[in-house]
Amino acid sequence: MSKGLEPGLKIPDFHLPDENGVVHSLSELQGDDCMILMLGRGEHCPRERMHQRDMVKFHEYSDVAFTRLVTILPNEPHDVYKLRISSGAHWPFLVDDQLEVRRHFEIDEYTDTHHDNAVVPHTLVVAPGLVIDKVYVGYWFWGRPSIYQLWDDLADLLKRIKPDFDPTTPEARASYTAAQNGAKKRAATKRKQPGERKTAAAA
């Protein structure tokens, strides 16, 4: 069984390079958004290529839906580049040729006797703050989520974390009004401060 891949747990803020050697942290890539994190089996796997290619369509939606995609592969930079460019992906692919992620989660694919670096593939739906919301195990291809399953997962997640998911509710309207009033008060306070300092200096 994997370790630390359960809903409600926070994943480590791994710092890994992309195929160009530029190091990124997961928190930097996620920002304040939701994230789909794919822990890929490896460049050698045809099912991995198929899944990444399918996610290209999902990425078109994610750009307008406050959602980030990240793929981590247990390969050296050139192989990571090959998989990214052959699938047509334009989101970050990170290099884990030292198998840091595989060791941490204990997801080595021990049944693969041909590829020492193979990973049991997982797809994670990640809430803001690197908190796992849902886990898919893709050892068998049908264990991987379709883009429409992920659509449902993210809709459910945003309903729980965004008070204005339905902005027509009285609660959402009240929250918006309170935020607007608070912003106006802060702006008014800032406008008063320069005059108050001048008066104090004159005294």
pLDDT above 90: residue 2: no
To 10 degrees, the CA torsion angle through 157, 161, 166, 169?
Answer: 140
Q: How confident is the model at residue 182 (pLDDT cuts 50, 70, 90)?
A: confident
Please report the pLDDT score of residue 128 as a whole number: 98
pLDDT above 80: residue 19: yes
Question: pLDDT digit string (tens) for 118-140?
Answer: 999 999 999 999 999 999 999 99
What are the DSSP calls for 29-87, one per residue? HHTTSEEEEEE---TT-HHHHHHHHHHHHHHHHHTTTTEEEEEEESS-HHHHHHHHHHH
pTM of the predicted model as reported, rounded to 2 decimal places: 0.88
pLDDT above 70: residue 144: yes
